[in-house]
Amino acid sequence: MKVTVIGSGYVGLVTALCFAEIGHQVVAVESNSRKLRQLQRGNATIHERFVPELLKRHLLKGIRFTSSIADGMQSPDAVFVCVGTPSAPNGASDLSGVFDAIRDIASHLRKYTVIVEKSTVAVGTGDKIQTCLLQKGGADPSLFSVACNPEFLREGSAVNDFLEPDRIVLGTDDSRARDVLRELYRPLIDGDYAATSRSFKPLHRSSKVVIETSVKSAELIKHASNAFLATRISFINAIANIAEATGADIDQVAAGVGADPRIGSQFLSPGIGFGGSCFPKDVDELRRIAERNGFCFDLLAEVQRINAGQRQRFLDKLKSAIGALAGRKFAVLGLSFKGATDDVRCSPALAIVKRLLEEGALVSAYDPAAIDNARHELLSSRIEFASSSYAAISGADALLILTDWPDFACLDLHRVRKLLASPIVVDGRNLYRPDEMHGAGLHYISIGRAAVSATTDAEPARITRIATEAIDLPAVNG
Ligand code: NAD
């Protein structure tokens, strides 16, 4: 089938490449000329596993990139709108990019096309798109249907999530559009793709569920899903704070809570709070949607309050360990909003680094993929970007772990001890066991667990890892 994808960011690029991978002819329209040139040359614009391989495999065969909507609209069966919907200054999602794209599409409709919202949009946006196409775009109503196919991929495992989804939500209000979407996703729904693909064996087998809904329900599913996940993170962070205050251990508590199949173990990792381009924006937007509809969703305000508090608590712990921050040098490991991505949008790590710099600290930061993106956000003479974890740590007054990159969970702790000017580690992602840090002679402060001192002979809080090892704990926070 012929597919057009508008926007080649984290979602659009993965969507376009994966549709090519399952056998469709794809045109990807991207308005940013720098990104476009890079993609036309076959260079990945995001740090995402399998994207370089898919680009190499499909460029100019199953996929091509263009800046021209007219070029993209040569009788596609479906057009997927994957442009950004960032928070506007008033906190609401800015849908101007979506409606710009819709107006462009309207003037080029020549045959029946399904116009699919893949960007995350407020419930009811489908109706507005329909009106926009008819009134402002002047499109013939027999030439299109509006559908919503929300995207659930996670940065860091986006290609795998797309090709081996745990669910595919097809939101349509007419059978013609539903048939087109079913046919587009057929290789994934029937399992034909997984059966024949040699290069992209799914990391896990899941039972694919196709959920067919109305457009409005699909729109609301996406916001409800993200807000629910964000709520779990804030919930476990609140429990971690109680654990810290009472001497309980959050690892043990989370393992005990998550073992209940009605609850499950995912998204029960405490930390410095959720971030990224989706959760903060989507929680905010769902609150507004509720308000507009006469319902006060204060639970979400609390989720946001707890989330912001986690960063402050991290800084407070650092200050109580080291005193005033001005003039002290901190090694920071991690700048992206979570591991395995170069995305720094609304990164809690970046927010903490900004606070350190504002308070006069010196920072030596390392991240495996996000330094280029972070550089634009951290314009200070007091920050330097290191070439490795150990280079960042060398001579620092404390090590701060801010992102859950796998590399940061397997440091040589004795080397860390030797490189640090003072043996303090504040871990915002609980990547280590307190007893191993104690064993390496490090003063270790983490989230929801007793701090262990570098010098005391007292037995550090014993950590029962059995449960947490048996349960595959997910990537942290977002
Ligand atoms: P992004 O900012 O990375 O990508 C958007 C791209 O669209 C940019 O490259 C931009 O240049 C391009 N663009 C904007 N207007 C255009 C136009 N008129 N024509 C052509 N190109 C245009 O954003 P993203 O992270 O890919 O997110 C896109 C949407 O998907 C958002 O609504 C987001 O909430 C949602 N979403 C994101 C994720 C995620 O993990 N990033 C996951 C699920 C859903």
User: What average pLDDT does the segment 320-325 reach?
Assistant: 97
Environment class of residue 138 by beta-carbon count within 10 Å: exposed (0-12), middle (13-18) or buried (19+)? exposed
d(CA 407, CA 419): 17
Give the rounded percent of residues in the chain with a pLDDT score beyond 90: 88
Query: What is the domain partition of the chain in residue ranges?
Result: 2-213, 248-478
The model's pLDDT over 341-386, given as tens digits with 9 standing for 90+, comes to 999 999 999 999 999 999 999 999 999 999 999 999 999 999 999 9
Element (H, E) at 19: helix 10-21
Q: Is the pLDDT of residue 463 over 60?
A: no
Q: DSSP per residue over 281-339, as a string?
A: HHHHHHHHHHHHTT---HHHHHHHHHHHHHHHHHHHHHHHHH---TT-EEEEE--SSST
**Nearest-CA residue for atom 9 of ligand 1:** 9
pLDDT in tens, 27-55: 999 999 999 999 999 999 999 999 999 99
Which atom of ligand 1 approaches the CA of 158 most closely? 40
> What pLDDT was estimated at residue 91?
82
Ligand 1 atom 41, closest CA? 10
What ligand 1 atom has the least distance to the C-alpha of 101?
A: 18
Place of tokens 């002047």: 138
Question: Ligand 1, from 10, 79, 87, 98: best to mutate by most atoms within 8 Å of Cβ?
Answer: 10
pLDDT higher than 70, residue 125: yes
Q: Measured in angstroms, how far is the CA atom of residue 4 from the centroid of ligand 1?
A: 14
Q: Which pLDDT score, from 0 to 100, does residue 201 have? A: 58
What the block records as the tokens of 87 is 């928070």
Closest alpha carbon to 163 in 66, 278, 44, 48: 48
CA 468 to CA 474: how far, in whole Å? Answer: 11
Average pLDDT of span 181-188: 96
Which atom of ligand 1 sits closest to the CA of residue 343? 41
**At which residue do the structure tokens 């793709």 appear?**
193
Q: Is the pLDDT of residue 200 over 70?
A: no
By annotation, the residues acting in catalysis are 278
CA-CA distance, 409 to 404, in Å (whole number)? 8
pLDDT computed for residue 197 by the predictor: 77
pLDDT average, residue stretch 272-285: 98
Q: Whose CA is closest to 339, among 281, 275, 396?
A: 275
Cα(7) to centroid of ligand 1, in Å? Answer: 6
Q: For residue 10, which atom of ligand 1 is closest to its CA?
A: 26
Residue 321 above 80 pLDDT? yes
Atom of ligand 1 nearest to the CA of 118: 30
Ligand 1 center to 14 CA (angstroms): 11
Nearest CA to ligand 1 atom 29: 119
Pocket (CB within 6 angstroms of ligand 1): 6-12, 29-32, 35, 82-85, 97, 100-101, 119-120, 151, 153, 155, 277-278
Q: Which of 45, 82, 223 to mutate to test the pocket of ligand 1 (most atoms within 8 A of CB)?
A: 82
Q: Which residue, by CA, sits nearest to atom 11 of ligand 1?
A: 32
* 274 close to 153: Cβ distance less than 8 angstroms: no
**Residue with CA at minimum distance from ligand 1 atom 32:** 119
Q: Which residues pair with 87 in a beta bridge?
A: 93
Query: Under CATH, to which class is 248-478 assigned?
Result: alpha beta
* pLDDT on residue 89: 87
Between 191 and 398, residue with greater pLDDT:
398
Instruction: Compute the average pLDDT of residues 246-254.
Output: 98
The predicted pLDDT at position 206 comes to 54
Pick among 3.40.50.720, 3.40.50.300, 3.40.190.150, 1.10.3720.10: CATH of 2-213:
3.40.50.720
Q: Which two tokens stand for residue 327?
A: 């003039």
Mark 150-180 as b/e (b = at least 16 C-beta within 10 Å). bbebbbbbbbbbbbbbeebbbbbbeeebbeb
- Distance (Å) from CA 119 to ligand 1 centroid: 7
- Of 206-210, 233-237, 261-265, 303-307, least confident by mean pLDDT is 206-210
Global pTM value: 0.93
pLDDT band for position 477 (50/70/90)?
Answer: very low
Query: Where is average pLDDT lowest: 122-136, 196-210, 272-286, 362-376?
Result: 196-210
- State the distance from the centre of ligand 1 to the C-alpha of 27, rounded, in angstroms: 16
Distance CA 278, CA 283 (A): 8
Residue 242 sits at the vertex; the CA angle it makes with 237 and 243, to the nearest 5 degrees, is 90
Which residue has the CA at smallest separation from atom 25 of ligand 1? 10
8, 11, 341: residue to mutate for ligand 1 pocket, most atoms within 8 A of CB: 11
- Per DSSP, the three-state class of 79 is strand
pLDDT class for 469, splitting at 50, 70, 90? very low
Q: Measured from the CA of 104, which atom of ligand 1 is nearest?
A: 18
- Where residue 103 falls (left for φ over 0; alpha for ψ -120 to 50; beta otherwise) is alpha
* CA 198 to centroid of ligand 1, rounded, Å: 29
Q: Are 236 and 306 in contact (CB under 8 A)?
A: no
State the average pLDDT for the chain: 93
**Distance from Cα 24 to the centre of ligand 1, integer Å:** 21
Confidence of residue 471 (pLDDT cuts 50, 70, 90): very low
With the C-alpha atoms ordered 126, 131, 137, 139, is the resulting torsion angle positive or negative?
positive
Residue nearest to atom 14 of ligand 1 (CA): 83
Measured from the Cβ of residue 25, the count of other Cβ atoms closer than 10 Å reads: 16
Using CA atoms, how far apart are residues 191 and 444, in angstroms rounded to an integer? 47
Give backbone dihedrals phi and psi of 433, rounded to 5 degrees, phi first. -85, 135
- Return the amino acid letter for 351: A
- Report CA(97)–ligand 1 centroid distance (Å): 9
pLDDT at 478: 37
